[in-house]
Structure 1
Amino acid sequence: METDAAPLIEQLQGLLTQATNFALTLTTPGWRLYQICIIAGLILAAQLFTWLLAPRLREKMRELEGWPKWRLRALLVLHKRIRLIAFVVLAWAVVWFLRETTWPSRSYLVSIAATLATAWLCVGLAARFVRNQFLRRIVTWGLWIYVTFYYLGLIEEARIFLDGIAVSFGDFRLSALSILKALVVTGILFTIARMVAQTTSKRIQTNEDISPSMRVLAVKMLQVTLYGAAFFIGLKAVGFDLTGLAVLSGAIGVGLGFGLQKVVSNLVSGVIILLDKSIKPGDVISLGETFGWINSLGARYVSVVTRDGKEYLIPNEDLITSQVVNWSHTNDFVRLDIFFGTAYGDDPHHVRALAIEAAKSVKRVLSSRPPVCHIVGFGDSSVDYILRFWITDPTGGLTNVRGDVFLALWDTFKEHDISIPFPQREVTLLDSGETTTSTAKE
């Protein structure tokens, strides 16, 4: 490993000398000093403007309840930069005034300050398109430094300085300039990839000709392709040799394959689930004690929301290796069974007809697939029946529709004097040779 320290020290000394000489010229009475004072006054005026206007704008923004979210977010972004906006407006107004009333050279420094502030404002607004906070900061600071050096005419000096901060490993040389370029270019490419992915994903999600599971798979593959291409194109654009990176990635992949077997298994299982279409968003499934509908399919897990509002994140591997009940895999028809009993004194034919009519009266029970009722046994205290009926909306819940059918049975049996028996026990009490018989109800 080798570093070039001597040229770097010489460059630093040269830059410090130039900065010192420029600072000394600013302290000499004349228009340069006057312009510095004007810039300081503009900064103070922008600050006062912010103190006066920002709270009022904040109150006005709170009153805009009916506006779309993107407009409110845009106003919030502008509100956070109101100080810089005020400085830009005031600075350009002063530049125009000085150029109209005196020589253009006497507004040179104010013009540079206005130009830099305008560039910083544009960079700050454009960087909001980068969603990742870390990348956003890198892109913002990188572009701020670049535009500052560009308008100050220090691009070549900065390039030489950053390129001098380097580490060499044999034939490979890594400089601060290359790292900065890679971060900025990759951040910009990631932003473009995200915008393209979002636009394309919305079109895929609204395409009714594609099944829900294939929509999710297409979106995931699109995101992986775009972000992967952005990463490698960003590295290639700044001169990185991807051959060595490929070898290193292969070695790292082998190590991760042993250490992250479960993660890889879940990723592969997720792809299999999307390809075989065994489950899809909106399906109602049962897995062990979990019953709910699929909210979303992720790369590592499936989100299942239950009726009580709990969201279970089930690993994809469990859906492949375990027995899963999909209540709506091929169709939405679901048959439910409930059991009840009536007294032996009630006519079974009449009971069956009443039970079917009671089930039909419930709204969610299908009339196209009529309910049926059968005798399933003769119990100790009752004749036992099973009532079967169909529904097509399992996402609406199963327990509640069973409860509605039970309630309809209760009302119907009460109206027609059908009794629902309960066990009775006969207890004999022996006292002083006398036998007393009584009946106890349980």
Structure 2
Amino acid sequence: MDKELLPPEVETLITGLWGRALHLAEMVLTPGWRQNQVLIILGLIGLSWLLRIVTSSWVQEWTRAREGWPKWRLRMMVQIRQRLSLIYFTFGAWAVYVVMQQITWPSRSYLIGIAATLSTAWLVIALLSRLVQNRTLRRLLTWASWIYATLYALELIDDVEGFLASLALQVGGLKLSALTAIKSLLLVSALLVAARLGTQAASRSLTDNDDISPSMRVLAIKAVQVVLYGLVLMIGIRALGFDLSGLALLSGAVGVGIGFGLQKVVSNLVSGIIILLDRSIKPGDVISLGDTFGWIDSLGARYVSVVTRDGKEYLIPNEDLITSQVVNWSHTNKFVRLDLHFGTSYGDDPHLVRRVAVEAAKGVKRVLSQPTPPVCHIVGFGDSSVDYVLRFWITDPSDGLTNIRGNVFLALWDAFKAEGISIPFPQREVRHLNDPSTALRTPGVEEGTR
């Protein structure tokens, strides 16, 4: 490519890099202290590689023997084991550099100092990057930090910054350069990591605070997330050079779009805030909404997660919980009353039936005996039985209602069988008439109940 076709900044950068490359080659090939430093660095690299081979298995066994260590320490030890060569080289380079600074001229250890600085920067960046959980973001920050540290150590940062600053895009009164874009991207990435760590720390602190209700904890965590990530967005926009006052018109247009196109989304968001503020529903509550019965697993910005007894997880929009009738079995307390209806024969003593039914219910594990013991009342005289209702209380509706009803019914069956109390059922008589003419005038089946 003809040099005249290249911008002056690019030509200057290429010329400078080529000159430094030739200078480095000359240092390596020319006998003297510079060549000796290069050979020392190569020797340290080989020694570090051998030390890693010798000690890697020992470090692995020592780590496995650490019982009771938290997971973050074990993960850190895995990262250290994977970078043993770099660690050995860093310590060796600094040791040689310090010794040579004391016994000879500083210029004779200049390259070793650069190598020690670079290896230290690479090691610190590699270890700190593990704090970023997002793989793409972690790689971006790692490579950008390595490149910056290398250019800084080689004293090329000014040349590269000048070149990137020359690659600019003029949009009205805004000049956006490649250098500004890269700095903004790195700044936003670092702030996102800091916001995530801050959110996690606030979440742990609020979760461990027993003085705050569960719903207020969720609201506080959501508020921290909105504030931190909102600050990241604002700082990123400012870092690019945009004037935030010019976004007033855009915000108005966005508001109109929200009003027409995102009504449901905004309604769910507002409903979620109302639920958190009035504390009508909180994690752990047992609710019924239509045919859905289960307990609240989590409260989200748009929906509430309800887990049923059969393992299904329903994501119910917050708006439905505000506008529909919701049965909260544990709103003020977890006491739940259940009613069982049954009947016994007219020949059985009702006083005995009531007493036996109450004692049978008390013998079931989840039924409360205090402060609200079971009671049994006569509710009517039926065609074939005396009708009763057995009322009892439980405090663990999340463990299921059908199973406790079944257990109480089974206890009633056993108790009635032991006391000779019968449970009647309708019986029918079928009468065959011999006269066909009579059969046509009268019903062929007469029903009676004993």
Specify the TM-score bucket, using the shorter chain as the normaliser. Answer: 0.7 to 0.9
Per-residue CA deviations over 1:189-222 (Å, capped at 9, x if unaligned) read 3333333333333333333333221221112112
* Deviates most, 231-240 or 386-395: 231-240
Superposed CA offset, 1:172-199 (max 9, x none):
1111211122122223333333333333
Match of 2:438 in 1: none
Match of 2:424 among 417, 421, 424: 421
- The aligned counterpart of 2:200 is 198
Report deviation, 1:253.
Answer: 5.2
| Letter in structure 1 aligned against 2:377 | H
User: Letter of the aligned partner of 1:315 in structure 2?
Assistant: P
Q: Which residue of 2 aligns with 1:112?
A: 114
Alignment-mate amino acid for residue 132 of structure 2: V
Distance 2:330 2:138 in 1: 43
Distance 1:81 1:288 in 2: 58
Aligned length: 430
CA contact (8 A) 1:50 1:83 kept: yes
- 2:170 corresponds to 1:183: no
Cα shift at 1:232: 1.5
Question: Is contact 1:285-1:292 (8 Å) kept?
Answer: yes
Q: What stretches of structure 1 of length at least 5 have no aligned partner? A: 432-442
Q: Is the 8 A contact 1:278 1:329 kept in 2?
A: yes
Question: Contact conserved, 1:186 with 1:235, CA < 8 A, in 2?
Answer: no
Distance 1:311 1:195, change over 3 A: same
The equivalent residue for 1:231 is: 233
Checking the alignment, whether the CA contact within 8 Å between 2:174 and 2:241 is kept in structure 1 is: no
CA contact 2:168–2:178 (8 Å) conserved in 1: yes
Q: Which amino acid is the alignment partner of residue 360 of structure 2? A: A
Letter in 2 for 1:202: R
Identity of aligned residues (%): 61
Give how far 1:325 is off.
1.4
2:283 alignment counterpart: 281
Cα distance between partner residues in 2 of 1:131 and 1:375: 65
User: For residue 436 of structure 1, what is the aligned residue in structure 2?
Assistant: none
Displacement after TM superposition at 1:318 (Å): 2.4
* Inter-CA distance 381–61: structure 2 relative to 1 (3 Å threshold): farther
Change in Cα spacing, 1:126 to 1:208, as seen in structure 2 (3 Å) is same
Q: Which amino acid aligns with 1:76?
A: V
Residue 103 (structure 1) shift:
4.2
Q: 1:52 and 1:247 mapped to 2: Cα distance? A: 66
Q: 1:407 maps to which residue?
A: 410
C-alpha distance 75-312 of structure 1, shift in aligned 2 (>3 A): farther
One-letter code of the match for 1:406? F
Whole-Å separation in 2 of the counterparts to 1:228 and 1:351? 67
User: How big is the shift at 1:224?
Assistant: 0.7
Q: Alpha-carbon deviation of 1:158?
A: 1.8
Please report how far the alpha carbon of residue 370 of structure 1 lies from its aligned counterpart in structure 2 after TM superposition: 2.5
Structure 1 stretch 407-416 or stretch 260-269: which is displaced more?
260-269
What residue number does 1:40 align with? 42
Distance, in Å, in 2 between the alignment partners of 1:75 and 1:293 is 40
Structural mapping, 1:17-28, within 5 Å:
17-28=18-29
Alpha carbons of structure 1 residues 86 and 289: separation in structure 2 relative to 1, 3 Å = farther
> Are 2:387 and 1:384 equivalent residues in the alignment?
yes
- State the 1:44 CA deviation: 3.7
Structure 1 residue aligned with 2:56: 54
Q: Which residue of 2 aligns with 1:327?
A: 329
- Taking a change above 3 Å as real, the CA distance of residues 204 and 143 of structure 1, as seen in their structure-2 partners, is same
Question: What is the identity, as a one-letter code, of the residue corresponding to 1:313?
Answer: L
Report the counterpart of residue 293 of structure 2 in structure 1: 291
Equivalent residues of 1:190, 1:231 under 8 A apart: no
**1:256/1:89 CA distance change after superposition, 3 Å:** farther
In 1, distance between residues paired with 2:256 and 2:36?
A: 66
Distance 1:257 1:58, change over 3 A: farther
CA spacing shift, 1:173–1:49, aligned 2, 3 Å? same
Distance 2:321 2:184 in 1: 40
* 1:393 is aligned to 2:375: no
Q: Deviations over 1:370-413 (max 9, x none)?
A: 32223344445433322111122212322222222122212211
Of residues 220, 223, 246, the one that matches 1:218 is: 220
Counterpart in the other structure of 1:15: 16
Displacement, 1:59? 4.2
3-state secondary structure, aligned to 1:207: coil
Alpha carbons of structure 1 residues 327 and 142: separation in structure 2 relative to 1, 3 Å: same
TM superposition shift of 1:284:
0.4
- Once the 2 structures are TM-superposed, how far is the Cα of residue 258 of structure 1 from its aligned partner? 4.2
Give the Å deviation of 1:327: 0.6
Runs of at least 5 residues in structure 2 that lack an aligned partner in the other structure: 435-450
2:69 equivalent to 1:67: yes
Instruction: Tell me the C-alpha RMSD between the 2 structures.
Output: 3.0
Aligned-partner Cα distance in 2 for 1:152–1:419: 97
Which residue matches 1:374?
377
